[in-house]
């Protein structure tokens, strides 16, 4: 009986995590058609990735966007959320290194990092901030990232970096991570 109760609780909590992510705009898949050239666009909003272990989530989230007008490439969306009272308010992304089983490829950010903030939140007494940038990589490399057992990313800022593990599909707490959402996005192409 205890086993069934534990199993039921785990299923409920897993469902709650997915629902909360969706409400928060994390891992949301969107399909649209460009009003400019009629191309098909599929994207997934940034989601968490793991740090050294699957229970250590990083400050930077990763999403992706694909456009049928350039099908051999995909844009990885780097997103850093904070507040003026916690951590760095803003970061400026400079590049991304992808290490798949020891083979390292380097990419630079396309354009500059976008910085935005929300209005003052009187409940938490905070101003929430957002830093976002795009790195374009070959679609074949993204597919390799989804199938490889050991994928490590180095997200580079102007003055520092953050190392993350892309090979986890869910955290040790049962929350879906960026790899899982990006794989689901690719299944719609």
| First-to-final CA distance of the chain | 44
Closest to 134 in 3D by CA, of 110, 115, 156: 110
> Per the confidence metrics, is the pTM higher than 0.75?
yes
- Whole-number CA gyration radius for the chain: 17
Percentage, residues of the chain above pLDDT 90: 58
Q: Which helix (H) or strand (E) element contains residue 80? A: strand 73-83
Cα(11)–Cα(121) distance, integer angstroms: 33
Token output for 4: 């069934």
pLDDT value at residue 119: 58
128 pLDDT higher than 70: no
pLDDT value at residue 7: 45
Give the pLDDT band (50/70/90) at residue 58: confident
pLDDT tens digits, one per residue of 68-112: 999 999 999 999 876 455 555 667 899 999 999 999 999 999 976
**Domain range summary for the chain, segments of one domain joined by +:** 26-186
29 pLDDT higher than 90: yes
pLDDT value at residue 17: 46
pLDDT value at residue 52: 85
Q: Give me the residue label for tokens 């649209």.
A: 32
pLDDT value at residue 25: 78
pLDDT tens digits, one per residue of 3-25: 444 445 555 555 544 444 555 57
pLDDT value at residue 18: 47
Q: Sign of the C-alpha dihedral, residues 177, 183, 187, 189?
A: positive
What is the rounded average pLDDT of the residues 163-179?
A: 93
Which residues have a Cβ under 8 Å from the Cβ of 59 and sit 6 or more positions away? 80, 81, 82, 87, 162
What is the rounded average pLDDT of the residues 27-54?
A: 95
Summary mean pLDDT of the chain: 83
């Amino acid at each position: 009986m205890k086993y069934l109760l534990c199993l039921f609780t785990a299923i409920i909590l897993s469902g709650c995590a997915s629902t909360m992510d969706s409400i928060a705009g994390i891992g949301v898949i969107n399909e649209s058609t460009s009003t400019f050239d009629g191309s098909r666009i599929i994207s997934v909003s940034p989601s968490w990735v793991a740090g050294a272990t699957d229970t250590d989530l990083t400050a930077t989230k990763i999403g992706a966007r694909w456009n049928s007008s350039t099908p051999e490439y995909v844009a990885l969306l780097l997103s850093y959320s904070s507040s003026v009272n916690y951590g760095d308010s803003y970061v400026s992304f400079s590049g991304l290194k992808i290490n798949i089983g020891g083979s390292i490829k380097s990419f630079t950010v396309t354009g500059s990092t976008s910085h935005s903030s929300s209005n003052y939140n009187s409940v938490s007494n905070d101003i929430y901030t957002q830093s976002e940038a795009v790195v374009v990589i070959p679609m074949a490399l993204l597919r390799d990232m989804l199938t490889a057992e050991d994928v490590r990313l180095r997200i580079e800022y102007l003055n520092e970096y953050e190392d993350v593990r892309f090979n986890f599909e869910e955290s040790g707490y049962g929350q879906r991570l960026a790899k899982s959402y990006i794989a689901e996005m690719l299944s719609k192409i």
